[in-house]
A and B are shown apart, each in its own frame.
Chain A
Amino acid sequence: MMESKSFPGNVDSLDSLREYVGELSQQAGLAKKPTYSLKLAVDEIATNIILYGYQEAGLNADFAVLSEITDKELVLILEDVAAPFDPLAKDLPNAKDLTLSLEERGIGGLGIFLTINGVDEFSYEYADGKNRNKFVMKIAAT
């Protein structure tokens, strides 16, 4: 059974969004480090949805967090109604970009890099007029 909770599409929601992700992680029994990585990943994607999908487009809408906890994994889906945007379509910073000094750096791509890097699976789909960013965290067998 998927659980669903919606948040207003503005940056003031990020705090409560992270808190909610923290609660789900706790229910799923995730350790501190994967919990932080998931919070970071969800925060990064939600920030993109809010700033570019909604605010820049002049769209005033909510986004939803769908989640499901099984004994193997925590699945979390961010669902928004902005124009189709695939975060994976953009070039990620490569190994060379990550060695550049601060003065030489572009500022894009770090968020999605941290997202993909921090979760066990990340995928994107556009269906029924909605963007769906899916995050999967494996639950360690005890």
Chain B
Amino acid sequence: MTEPTRPPWQQLIYILNQLYNIKIMAFQIESVVEDQVAKLTLHGELDSLSARVFQTEIEKIANQPIESLVLDMEELNFMSSAGLRVLIYSKQKIGPKLSIYIVKPQELIVDTLTKTGLQHSVTIVDQYPV
């Protein structure tokens, strides 16, 4: 199958649309570790498929001395219990002294944290450092 030929301007719009769809749909994570603070920025939707990627990132940083785990969730649009499980896993893997900060979670994700009682074990903040 060959792609239908489009005028260049249509082709450009098509490519931009594709990129936009990928950007909003796919889960992405960036992580930086500095001064015993691990900052992970999560984008997209966190389900049982993408939770594997999240968990792998946690495993990568778990052998370093980490005091605080900062999760920037401003761009995260969805989180299932698979995501909650990785939060629980982080604490169990890195250690009970680990402080977990969740930066700017969307309202519906805060609902999930509240309903499941996890908001007592994490600190929800507008920015980090607080």
Contact = CB atoms under 8 A, between A and B. Distances in A.
A44 B45 contact: no
Contact of A99 (B88, B100, B120): B120
Interface residues of A, number: 29
B8 interface: no
B118 A102 contact: yes
A11 interface: yes
Interface string A104-142: 010100110110010000000000000000000000000
B115 A39 contact: no
B87 A102 contact: yes
Interface in B92-120: 92, 96, 100, 108, 111-112, 115-118, 120
Contact of A18 (B78, B87, B108, B116): B78
Contacts of B78: 18, 36, 39-40, 43
Contacts of B116: 93, 98, 110, 113-114
Contacts of A14: 47-49
A105 B88 contact: yes
B49 to A, nearest CB: 4
Interface of chain B, main secondary structure: helix
A3 interface: no
Contacts of B120: 99, 101
A85 B34 CA distance: 46
A15 B25 contact: yes
A102 B92 contact: yes
A103 B81 contact: no
Interface of B: 25, 45, 47-49, 78, 80-82, 84-85, 87-92, 96, 100, 108, 111-112, 115-118, 120-122
Given A11-B47, A93-B116, A98-B117, 9 more contacts: A14-B48, A33-B108, A40-B78, A43-B48, A50-B48, A99-B120, A101-B120, A102-B90, A114-B112
The 7 closest A-B pairs by CB, nearest first: A98-B117, A102-B91, A111-B81, A11-B49, A110-B81, A102-B121, A47-B48
